[in-house]
Amino acid sequence: MNLLLIRLIIFAVLFFAGLKLYRMYREWKLDREGPRQAGDAQANRMVRCRWCQVHLPEEDALRVRGDWFCSGDHRDKYLAERQEEEQETHHEQHNDKRGE
Ligand SMILES: [Zn+2]
């Protein structure tokens, strides 16, 4: 009976020692990798393409008047569509004046 108790105590001590070592190792690892990861996160800030809604790193994106785009193609499509919308509203106004 005493032997069983001693074994249990030894097991418990080993368990907590292992847990503490694991926590120390994890903190040490975080300390070592923390600053580098933070730097990467800053360099790779994600933005969203206005046209296809895809997320990409800021450094790979194109910026036009506060909007982000994943490629020049999508930037051109978005700007072309916006121009068409503007032309359509002008056209409607013109029609109103003619009374159609
Ligand atoms: Zn896109």
Q: What is the pLDDT of residue 85?
A: 86
Cα(73) to centroid of ligand 1, in Å? 8
Measured distance CA(5)–CA(21) in Å, rounded: 24
Cα(78) to centroid of ligand 1, in Å? 9
Cα(17) to centroid of ligand 1, in Å? 52
For residue 86, what pLDDT band results from cuts at 50, 70 and 90?
confident
Measured distance CA(63)–CA(49) in Å, rounded: 10
Measured distance CA(28)–CA(22) in Å, rounded: 10
**Residues less than 5 Å from ion ligand 1, measured at CB:** 49, 51-52, 70, 74
Q: What pLDDT, in 10s, does the model give residues 3-58?
A: 899 999 999 999 999 999 999 999 998 888 766 555 555 567 899 999 999 999 99
Cα(40) to centroid of ligand 1, in Å? 23
For residue 91, what pLDDT band results from cuts at 50, 70 and 90?
low
For the chain, the domains span 45-90
pLDDT exceeds 70 at position 67: yes
